[in-house]
């Protein structure tokens, strides 16, 4: 018995003694109670934070987690012609965007493969969006104009288990005329570039936005661009749309623009330059409205409606014919003999020549030890016949009698050497040589012998087709120049510029230009039977006579440029047209281009002036509504047959 007690005493552990200690157990219970109180107080403080202190903030965050904003892109305004006909429209399509809230980089490769996109370009695009710090709710556009097959791929893969970042958005894409009709005038749209975003002009736009890149689209981008809206939808925890909320932000479409372009004249001008390189500009000299503007070769603006493919872009910029160049406002070429009306006016105004001045043309003349050739032998010519037959020898002598700065003064007076101010980007200003110009550009003085080439529109003188149309148009109405513009009822136009010239001298110049077309001059191909057309031909050399005599082989693209500028009617001009036919060699070959445009103008005017057929009026009693029958007692049979 004693031995068993000793064994039991030996088996008692210290932990067993602590377990039986009441104080130890009470301490553990107290610790657990304090811990639970602390947890409860923590939860209570969190509840206070959520429900009492800042409930609005957390409620808004919870709402944001259950509501998804989908952009509603505003359509651009339409571009109309002067009669309200649509030139540039929009068409409905679907574009694919990546939602940045659900975007996973590992999904980009299968998305690119499924939609036939370049994976590296897609990754670069996504990273570029992230690097610019765009708001998280701005999705990333990756593909426009989805095909039915691409739409089917997206719809079958946009669930939460595959590619939840895919978003299809209904958009309005630009629709331009076919065959590049008025392409250089209206311009094109495209995605805003990195360099664009760093300019004040595009500061309010975001990466991926579509903006005007050239032409009217760019010049009036703020008017044509609408205000995007938002569609708010409630989504479940998997991102699926449950219902559309009522608090949508409606998109505001861009405003329509009515241009001064006449589609009928534009179409005729386009056809006259088909398969040729050059430009046509038609103006109303009475107000500066551009009736037609053509540059050929043209391009298809629809290629730029979204993001142009690299292949298409490289073909355009590497094309030796430069289809992206708007020759109407950017082709700076020597005006050739179309400069002679300005020379004649300058000579008369400065007194260098008078009405009795005449020159004998044996086929050229010597000046400063050098022979300058004329294109023909004209015999004795005066101020009228010299212009009618475009005698170079006559205008060599006029230029030799004048100071170069006087020539420059009158060239600048009609608008050469300066931008016209037309509402298009990237207009060139041309060159009017003078002493100051040569010192500034070549650090050399001007020599009198250089006047001779300037007198026939050669040498350093260059103009654009728009400048030529504006210059001759302003001179034809008595020395008043209006700012050329493409938008009807345009604001912020400069006031008309009038100059103090002798109107009798202008009449002499106009008389000479009338003879060019109607008195057997160089522009007889511009003659019209029922309209008095005045004009002037021009052939501008691209290779000097010295180079040709030295054996230079003249390729097709180095042949002379052909010019013609004309206006009608002679007494009160309503239209002036200038054309540049590159490598056309002779101005007389450019004359039919101007003739056809002028004819189209007056044909349309005559057609609109004809009385419209009237619909025969119906008798008033037929148009009067029927009267209700008065209630009468039934007639007897006898009364019914009684006459």
329 to 48, 313, 333, 418, 551: CA distances (angstroms)? 70, 22, 11, 12, 34
| pLDDT band for position 627 (cuts 50, 70, 90) | low
Long-range pairs of 353-361 with CB within 8 A, sequence gap ≥ 24: 353/383, 353/398, 353/401, 355/382, 355/383, 355/508, 356/382, 357/382, 357/383, 357/398, 358/382, 359/386, 359/391, 359/393, 359/394, 359/397, 360/393, 361/391, 361/392, 361/393, 361/394
Better-scored residue on pLDDT, 153 or 536 = 536
- Fill in the DSSP letter of residue 208: T
- Mean pLDDT over residues 524-528, rounded? 96
pLDDT tens digits, one per residue of 75-103? 999 999 999 999 999 998 888 888 877 78
| pLDDT band for position 569 (cuts 50, 70, 90) | very high
- Mean pLDDT over residues 248-261, rounded? 91
Is the pLDDT at 235 greater than 80? The verdict is no
Strands (DSSP E) contained in 374-467 are 379-382
Long-range pairs of 106-109 with CB within 8 A, sequence gap ≥ 24: 107/163, 107/165
Is the pLDDT at 471 greater than 80? The verdict is yes
Better-scored residue on pLDDT, 71 or 55 = 71
pLDDT value, residue 548: 52
Two tokens, residue 214: 């050239």
- Mean pLDDT over residues 262-266, rounded? 97
Is the pLDDT at 237 greater than 80? The verdict is no
In this structure, of 13-17, 120-124, 603-607, the range with the lowest mean pLDDT score is: 13-17
Interstrand relation of 86-98 and 79-80 (parallel, antiparallel or unpaired) = antiparallel
Percent of the chain past pLDDT 90, that is, above it, reads: 57
Global pTM reads: 0.82
Is the pLDDT at 635 greater than 50? The verdict is no
Better-scored residue on pLDDT, 112 or 384 = 384
| pLDDT band for position 641 (cuts 50, 70, 90) | very low
pLDDT value, residue 121: 87
- Mean pLDDT over residues 446-468, rounded? 96
Is the pLDDT at 552 greater than 50? The verdict is yes
- Mean pLDDT over residues 115-125, rounded? 87
- The DSSP H or E segment spanning 235 is strand 229-235
């Amino acid at each position: 018995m004693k031995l068993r007690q000793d064994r039991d005493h030996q088996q008692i552990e210290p932990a067993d003694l602590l377990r039986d200690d009441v104080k130890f157990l009470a301490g553990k219970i107290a610790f657990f109670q304090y811990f639970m109180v602390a947890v409860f107080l923590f939860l209570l403080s969190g509840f206070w934070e959520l429900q009492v202190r800042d409930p609005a903030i957390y409620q808004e965050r919870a709402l944001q987690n259950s509501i998804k904003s989908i952009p509603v892109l505003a359509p651009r305004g339409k571009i109309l012609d002067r009669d309200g006909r649509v030139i540039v429209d929009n068409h409905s399509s679907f574009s694919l965007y990546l939602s940045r809230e659900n975007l996973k980089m590992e999904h980009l490769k299968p998305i690119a493969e499924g939609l036939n996109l370049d994976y590296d370009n897609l990754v670069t695009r996504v990273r570029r969006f992230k690097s610019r710090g765009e708001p998280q709710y701005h999705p990333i556009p990756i593909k426009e104009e989805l095909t039915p097959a691409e739409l089917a791929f997206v719809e079958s893969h946009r669930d939460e288990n595959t590619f939840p970042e895919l978003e299809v958005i209904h958009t309005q894409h630009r629709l331009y005329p076919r065959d590049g009709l008025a392409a250089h005038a209206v311009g094109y749209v495209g995605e805003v570039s990195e360099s664009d975003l760093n300019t004040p002009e595009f500061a309010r736009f975001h990466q991926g936005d579509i903006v005007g890149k050239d032409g009217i689209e760019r010049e009036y981008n703020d008017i044509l661009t609408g205000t995007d809206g938002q569609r708010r939808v409630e989504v479940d925890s998997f991102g699926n749309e449950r219902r559309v909320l009522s608090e949508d932000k409606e998109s505001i479409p861009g405003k329509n623009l009515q241009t001064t372009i006449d589609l009928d004249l534009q179409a005729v001008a386009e056809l006259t330059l088909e398969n040729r390189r050059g430009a046509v500009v038609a103006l109303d000299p009475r107000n500066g409205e551009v009736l037609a503007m053509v540059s050929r070769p043209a391009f298809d603006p629809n290629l730029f409606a979204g993001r142009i493919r690299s292949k298409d872009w490289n073909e355009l910029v590497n094309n030796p014919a430069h289809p992206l160049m708007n020759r109407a406002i950017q082709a700076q070429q020597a005006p050739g003999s179309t400069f002679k009306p300005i020379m004649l006016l300058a000579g008369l105004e400065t007194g260098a020549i008078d009405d009795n001045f005449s020159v004998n043309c044996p086929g050229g003349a010597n000046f400063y030890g050098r022979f300058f050739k004329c294109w023909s032998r004209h015999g004795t010519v005066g101020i009228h016949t010299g212009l009618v037959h475009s005698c170079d020898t006559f205008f060599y002598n006029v230029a030799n009698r004048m100071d170069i700065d006087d020539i420059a003064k009158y060239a600048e007076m009609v608008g050469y050497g300066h931008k016209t101010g037309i509402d298009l980007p990237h207009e060139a200003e041309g060159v009017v040589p003078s002493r100051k110009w040569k010192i500034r550009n070549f650090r050399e003085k001007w020599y009198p012998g250089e006047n001779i080439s300037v007198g026939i529109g050669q040498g350093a003188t260059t103009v654009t087709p728009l400048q030529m149309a504006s210059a001759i148009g302003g001179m034809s109405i008595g020395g008043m120049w209006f700012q050329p513009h493409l938008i009807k009822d345009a604001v912020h136009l400069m006031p008309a510029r009038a100059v103090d010239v002798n109107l009798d001298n202008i009449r002499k110049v106009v008389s000479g230009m009338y003879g060019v077309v109607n008195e057997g001059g160089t522009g007889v191909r511009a003659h019209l039977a029922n309209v008095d057309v005045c004009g002037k031909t021009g052939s501008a050399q691209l290779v000097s006579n010295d180079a040709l005599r030295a054996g230079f082989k003249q390729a097709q693209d180095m042949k002379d440029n052909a010019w013609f500028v004309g206006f009608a009617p002679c007494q009160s001009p309503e239209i002036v047209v200038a054309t540049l036919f590159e490598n056309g060699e002779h101005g007389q070959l450019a004359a039919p281009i101007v003739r056809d445009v002028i004819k189209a103008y007056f044909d349309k005017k005559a057609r609109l002036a004809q009385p419209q057929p009237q619909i025969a009026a119906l008798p008033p009693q037929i148009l009067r509504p029927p009267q209700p029958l008065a209630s009468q007692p039934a007639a007897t049979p006898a009364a019914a047959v009684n006459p």
